[in-house]
Structure 1
Amino acid sequence: MMRRYVTEKNLLREVTDFRPGAWVNLVNPSLEECLLVAREFQVDIADIRAALDDEESSRVDVSNDYTLILFDIPSIEYRHKREAYTTIPLGLIFAGDTLISVCAEDTPVLKSFADNMVKEFSTKKQIRFIYQIFLRTCVLYQSYLRIVDRRRKEIEEHIGGDTEDVDLIDLHELESNLVYFDTSLRANKMVLERLVRYSKIKKYPEDQELLEDVVVENQQAIEMTQIYRDIIKGTRELLSAVIDNRLNTAMKYLASITIVMAIPTIISGIYGMNVDEKWMPLANTPFGFGIICLITLGLCLIVIRILRKRKML
């Protein structure tokens, strides 16, 4: 899908033609749309379709005709019937006085611009527009990171209560999300460093402060990711220790019960041996069976008390 926008009187509106100062937004474009844009702006079609490859690495390519900026943005997907986070490439091509954005899906990063939710936004100020897209990307990363941390807290709240193995799986999924974020954010950091260094990309004094804010926000997102990864790792280890401790406690109780039940089993086994009854104690004593049962019960109670003193019951 291809849409073209232009800002007039601080309002964004959609147009149907290519014009100077426009923003061309390609969302999962077809090959025909890519060819049309490539011919119109003299751009290599491979650079246009680079953002459609999930394995494409973040980079900045500066040529005489246009500049390609490729970086990763956060995205929502479903893994194992659960909502999870990943990252996908977003390509920005600065060709003359037109900015071309290419993404495999309709992302909230660009949707906020298309819905006129960003202040001081103009399609005619392409460099500032690029920095604003980076800033919205960093903000979205931080928003998703807070959601991940909130889910981690929900799991922590019932540790020691109805903790289940599924909680370990959920923590693993959260940690996987942070791995994707950390890798992409560090790659984006390299892209920002190149944008700061490259002299071929025009830098305006009024946009320099915005670029510095983007660098700070991206670094903050990296630090948040690392902190949350460490916390989730500790939570996962704690949860695993709690489950192991419950297993050990259950095995201890089962062993104690086995010891107590072994006493009547041994006594009944002895009295069930095929020997002359005159050799069996209390065989000819009135109420002998009841006396043996009481003795067995007494021995069981003594063993139970010993086990309780040793905190095995």
Structure 2
Amino acid sequence: MIYNYRLNSDRRLERNNIGTDGDFLYLLQPSKEEIGRLTERFGFPFDYLSGILDNYEKARIEGDDKGNQLLLMQYPMMSDTGEIKTYPCSIVNTSSGVVIFALNADFELPGLKDVSFERERFAHQMTYHLLFDIEARYEKHLAEFRQRRQKIEKSIMKSTKNDQLLDMIAMQASLIYFEDAVSNNLSVLTRYAEYLRTHSQDGFAERIFDIQIAADQSHAETRIQLKLMENLRDLFSNIVSNNLNIVMKIMTSATFVLGIPAIIVGFYGMNVPLPKQEWGNMWWLILVGIILICGWVSVLLHKRDMM
């Protein structure tokens, strides 16, 4: 689907009729026919937009001899499996000044309708807002990962279940996607900033450099969190094993202590003559003896840290 926006008299975006005549074109899950119409209309290569159809497409920057420029970035999004994966999106600055933003998954556009654009700098400003929003999404998810990891750290000491482990596996998988995607995005932003310093005179390169710094920080934090998650998984495995060992130790000790009454009662339950068998208070004597012996054994096991 192609959504067409144009700048109104207040220099703000407003929806136009569906088509290819506008200042900003938003392609959401486009078909190959729609991509073909746009590539023919603006004269840039077909793969500028078709790359978004491959979820494993890597970030890159390209340009052609007609003045069209592609920024293919990777943005984070929740997948059907519960992991946060990264998907490609295309930002095409056409030679005619039209900006095209295309992706193959649901994506809520940032609050662009409230932004006042300058028509002469519209392409640069729109590109900046889109790149900034993509980077902000990484920072948001990284903050969520940090909170989830801290929550796991607080509950991990008492856990013998798999819930935390499954959550850690999902987070670690997401961080692996993040590390690759942020690294690729950072490379594109670096090359784009270098290109702008050579070809742009309106200070736009410095704004892209700010996003580049934020992306570099996100990349560093992603690597740190990934390392922490690896250590946390190892710690979790050790803690779970230790907790299970403690449970087994307690169960073994309890079984040993509870076996004492069974032996004594079984001994006096034999169908043969036994000492004091006919004494009326023998039952109480056996009960007291069982309690004393079990108590003494329990104290002995506790002192030796076996219970």
TM over 0.5: yes
Structure 2 residue 73 is matched with structure 1 residue 71: yes
Q: CA deviation at 1:273?
A: 6.7
**What does residue 148 of structure 1 align with?**
145
| Secondary structure, aligned partner of 1:259 | helix
**What does residue 174 of structure 1 align with?**
171
Give the Cα–Cα distance (whole angstroms) in 2 for the partners of residues 156 and 119 of structure 1: 45
The 1:181/1:174 distance shift into structure 2, 3 A limit, reads: same
Q: How many residues end up aligned between the 2 structures?
A: 303
**What does residue 220 of structure 2 align with?**
223
Stretches of structure 1 lacking an aligned partner (at least 5 in a row): none
**What does residue 40 of structure 1 align with?**
41
Q: TM-score, normalised by structure 2?
A: 0.85
Give the Cα–Cα distance (whole angstroms) in 2 for the partners of residues 226 and 138 of structure 1: 16
Structure 2 residue 13 is matched with structure 1 residue 12: yes
Question: Are the counterparts in 1 of residues 117 and 125 from structure 2 also a CA contact under 8 Å?
Answer: no
Q: CA deviation at 1:212?
A: 1.2
Give the Cα–Cα distance (whole angstroms) in 1 for the partners of residues 306 and 231 of structure 2: 29
Give the Cα–Cα distance (whole angstroms) in 1 for the partners of residues 85 and 207 of structure 2: 26
Q: TM-score, normalised by structure 1?
A: 0.83
Residue-by-residue CA offset, 1:246-302 (whole Å, 9 max, x unaligned)? 31221111111122123233345555678x74xx55557675555445434332222
Give the Cα–Cα distance (whole angstroms) in 2 for the partners of residues 73 and 249 of structure 1: 45
**What does residue 53 of structure 1 align with?**
54
**What does residue 125 of structure 1 align with?**
122
RMSD: 2.9
Question: Are the counterparts in 2 of residues 138 and 217 from structure 1 also a CA contact under 8 Å?
Answer: yes
Give the Cα–Cα distance (whole angstroms) in 2 for the partners of residues 76 and 306 of structure 1: 55
Question: Are the counterparts in 1 of residues 59 and 184 from structure 2 also a CA contact under 8 Å?
Answer: yes
Q: CA deviation at 1:210?
A: 0.4
**What does residue 302 of structure 2 align with?**
308
2:192 corresponds to which of 182, 195, 199: 195
Give the Cα–Cα distance (whole angstroms) in 2 for the partners of residues 260 and 4 of structure 1: 79
Aligned positions of 1:18-37 closer than 5 A: 18-19=20-21, 22-37=23-38
% same residue: 24
Give the Cα–Cα distance (whole angstroms) in 2 for the partners of residues 91 and 103 of structure 1: 6
Give the Cα–Cα distance (whole angstroms) in 2 for the partners of residues 106 and 232 of structure 1: 29
**What does residue 87 of structure 2 align with?**
88
Residue-by-residue CA offset, 1:41-91 (whole Å, 9 max, x unaligned)? 122323321112101111122221222221101112332xx4x42111011
Residue-by-residue CA offset, 1:182-237 (whole Å, 9 max, x unaligned)? 11000111112222344798323421210210110111111222232233334444
Q: CA deviation at 1:173?
A: 1.2
